[in-house]
């Protein structure tokens, strides 16, 4: 069942959360473009007479003073940006358009999602919670005794974590931090992996296609994949659209004379690619045979990923305008690129030696973009040990060197791991609070995803950190959805933690 709500605040408690979540969805805030949402939060805070600060890179701090003498301070932290992904058949301009929110019902449970795009619950839930606390504190509905509360909003978490990496020291004034960025409502996170991003720029050699040959230009399209978070979902065995297109093209090139004009796929640095395509020249007399072979490969891939990605779609379309695509890769470059993409590390590399079912090191082939004379390939590697993700990073460099491709390899950013502290006082308060409220033990986890907390802990080693949030599924993809009921549960938990810290 799917239906729209004119006012999300009708969904449940606290209504202020849903009011702000709806407003956030109308403000463009892709990574690197957080100015509008930062200004909105700043104006809202100053309307309530709260002190605000913006540091040199654009992080925003809102200070909620205690009405009594401050005995302790807690920082509630979220990030301002969202992953901006949409389905290929969706018309949406993230820089100007509001997200089209809707409510769906699955097995009697209500979820909020967006029509054809990411929802931005990652990390809109954190922002909406912070704004709701700000509003309720101003009205006098919420007070926390001797506890001072700072609201920290960082920039660029999804694409480079430059906000946390370059944060000014004066923005952190407290010894306890609750990170509100997560995907589960029954879990406290106390540790996360480190990560390195890299960009490979490969020089292309192109040749003009022989127009006198009997050739047809076609587009091979892969779509329908689940994708997901390149850290939290990397263990789910989901297909990577770039790896699939490379596999198909390599097999085609082994049986037929094909000439590649372009390969494109993936849209976000930290998402498993859901879609990819390639524009290819083939002999007219072989079009039908090639189409049948692609259908055979499609069946094989659907069977291979039937338990993890059961809606894979692979299609081949004829393109009419011959002249738009008359330059193709040289055969030498084509063979080298296809072989490198086919064997390039992707997915889990090793498992954690001490924690069951937890990926220790992974690699994600995130995106590929073909320009006129170059191809740009984005990858990321994650691990609980810096040396481990660096080894995978070095192997990818070695692979391109062995292929004798002319390339530039650039490290576009790295983040340290956040090692767990099981003796943490904030962890103890959080666990006790959850047990008091819900009469059950909360799960405590270390995750194979990269949080800003790793950088914040590195820069402020004495700070005590935990992370929790409402339940989100499909983060970083257009299937992203927020469990409505979990919002009220997490809100109750957050207030309980703050009240216990204030006592």
Domains and CATH numbers, the chain: 2-193+417-502 (3.40.630.10), 195-415 (3.30.70.360)
Rg of the chain over Cα atoms, rounded to whole angstroms, equals: 24
151: pLDDT strictly greater than 70: yes
pLDDT the model gives residue 9: 67
Residue-wise burial string across 256-277, b where 16 or more C-beta atoms lie within 10 A, e elsewhere: eebbbbbbbbbbbbbbbbbbbb
- Token pair, residue 432, equals 């006790």
Average pLDDT over residues 466-484: 94
Mean pLDDT value of segment 76-96? 94
Question: What is the per-residue pLDDT for 5?
Answer: 47
* Residue whose structure tokens are 């605000």: 52
Instruction: Kindly report whether the peptide bond that precedes residue 123 is cis, defined as omega within 30 degrees of 0.
Output: yes
Res. 111: pLDDT tops 90: yes
What is the model's pLDDT at position 7?
Answer: 61
Is residue 3's pLDDT more than 60?
A: no
Residues 6+ apart with CB under 8 A from 291: 316
> Would you state the structure tokens that stand for residue 457, as one six-digit string?
């802990």
Rounded to an integer, the average pLDDT of 243-256 is: 97
**Tens of pLDDT along 419-438?**
888 899 999 999 999 999 99
Determine the pLDDT at residue 102. 93
In tens, the pLDDT along 354-369 reads 888 999 999 999 999 9
| CA 412 to the chain's CA centroid | 16
* Angular region, 237: left φ>0, alpha ψ -120 to 50, beta rest: left
The whole-number average pLDDT for the span 316-341 is 88
Tracing tokens 């084509």 back to the chain, one arrives at: 334
Grouping H, G, I as helix, E, B as strand and the rest as coil, residue 82 is strand
Ordered strands of the 60-64 beta sheet: 51-54, 60-64, 147-154, 72-79, 176-179, 464-467, 187-192, 443-447
Q: Please count the other Cβ atoms lying within 10 Å of the Cβ belonging to residue 326.
A: 16
Q: How far apart are the first and last CA of the chain?
A: 45
**Type and span of the H or E element at 428:** helix 425-438
Give the pLDDT confidence score for residue 252 in this predicted structure. 97
- pLDDT confidence of 1, banded at 50, 70, 90? very low
Tell me what percent of the residues of the chain surpass a pLDDT of 90: 79
Q: Which two tokens stand for residue 228?
A: 């997901």
pTM of the predicted structure, to 2 decimals: 0.76
- Average the pLDDT over 440-462 and give the result: 91
CA pair distance 79, 159, nearest whole angstrom: 11
Between CA 348 and CA 29 the distance in angstroms is: 31
Residue 6: pLDDT over 60: no
Q: Is the pLDDT of residue 334 over 70?
A: yes
State both tokens at 438: 């819900």
Mean pLDDT of the chain: 93
448 vs 2: which has the higher pLDDT? 448
Residue 66 has pLDDT above 90, yes or no: no
Q: CA-CA distance, 159 to 175, in Å (whole number)?
A: 27
pLDDT in tens, 19-42: 999 999 999 999 999 999 999 999
Distance from C-alpha of 89 to C-alpha of 119, rounded to nearest angstrom: 17
């Amino acid at each position: 069942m799917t239906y729209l709500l004119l006012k999300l605040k009708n969904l449940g408690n606290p209504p202020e959360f849903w009011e702000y979540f709806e407003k956030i969805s109308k403000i463009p805030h892709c990574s690197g473009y957080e100015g509008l949402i930062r200004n909105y939060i700043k104006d809202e805070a100053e309307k309530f007479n709260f002190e605000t600060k913006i540091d040199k890179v654009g992080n925003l701090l809102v200070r909620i003073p205690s009405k009594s003498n401050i005995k302790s301070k807690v920082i509630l932290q979220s990030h301002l940006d969202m992953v901006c992904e949409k389905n290929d058949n969706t018309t949406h301009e993230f820089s100007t358009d509001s997200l089209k929110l809707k409510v769906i019902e699955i097995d009697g449970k209500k979820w909020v999602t967006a029509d054809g795009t990411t929802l931005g619950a990652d990390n809109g839930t954190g922002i909406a919670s912070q704004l709701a606390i700000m509003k309720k504190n101003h009205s006098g509905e919420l007070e926390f005794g001797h506890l001072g509360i700072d609201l920290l909003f960082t920039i660029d978490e999804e694409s480079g974590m430059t906000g946390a990496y370059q944060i000014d020291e004066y923005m952190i004034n407290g010894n306890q931090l609750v990170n509100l960025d997560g995907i589960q409502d029954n879990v406290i996170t106390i540790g996360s992996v480190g990560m390195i991003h890299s960009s490979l720029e490969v020089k292309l050699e192109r040749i003009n296609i022989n127009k006198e040959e009997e050739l047809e230009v076609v587009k091979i399209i892969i779509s329908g994949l689940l994708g997901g978070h390149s850290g939290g979902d990397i263990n789910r065995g989901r297909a990577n659209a770039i790896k699939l297109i490379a596999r198909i093209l390599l097999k085609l090139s082994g049986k037929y004379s094909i000439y590649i004009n372009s390969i494109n796929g993936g849209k976000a640095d930290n998402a498993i690619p859901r879609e990819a395509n390639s524009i290819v020249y083939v002999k007219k007399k072989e079009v039908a045979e090639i189409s049948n072979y692609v259908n055979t490969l499609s069946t094989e891939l659907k069977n291979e990923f039937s338990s993890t990605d059961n809606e894979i779609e692979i299609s081949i379309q004829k393109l009419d305008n011959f002249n738009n695509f008359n330059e193709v890769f040289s055969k030498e470059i084509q063979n080298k690129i296809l072989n490198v993409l086919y064997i390039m590390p992707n997915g889990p590399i090793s498992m954690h030696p001490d924690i069951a079912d937890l990926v220790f090191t992974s690699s994600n082939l995130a995106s590929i973009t073909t320009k006129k004379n170059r191809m740009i390939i984005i990858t990321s590697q994650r691990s609980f040990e810096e040396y481990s993700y660096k080894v995978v990073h070095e192997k990818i460099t070695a692979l391109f060197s062995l292929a004798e491709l002319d390339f530039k390899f650039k490290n576009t950013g790295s983040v340290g791991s956040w090692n767990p502290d099981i003796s943490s006082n904030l962890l103890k308060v959080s666990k006790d609070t959850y047990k008091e409220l819900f009469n059950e033990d909360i799960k405590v986890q270390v995750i194979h995803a990269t949080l800003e907390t790793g950088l914040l802990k590195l820069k402020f080693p004495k700070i005590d950190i935990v992370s929790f949030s409402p339940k989100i599924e499909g983060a970083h993809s257009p299937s992203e959805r927020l469990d409505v009921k979990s919002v009220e549960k997490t809100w109750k938990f957050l207030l309980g933690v703050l009240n216990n810290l204030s006592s």
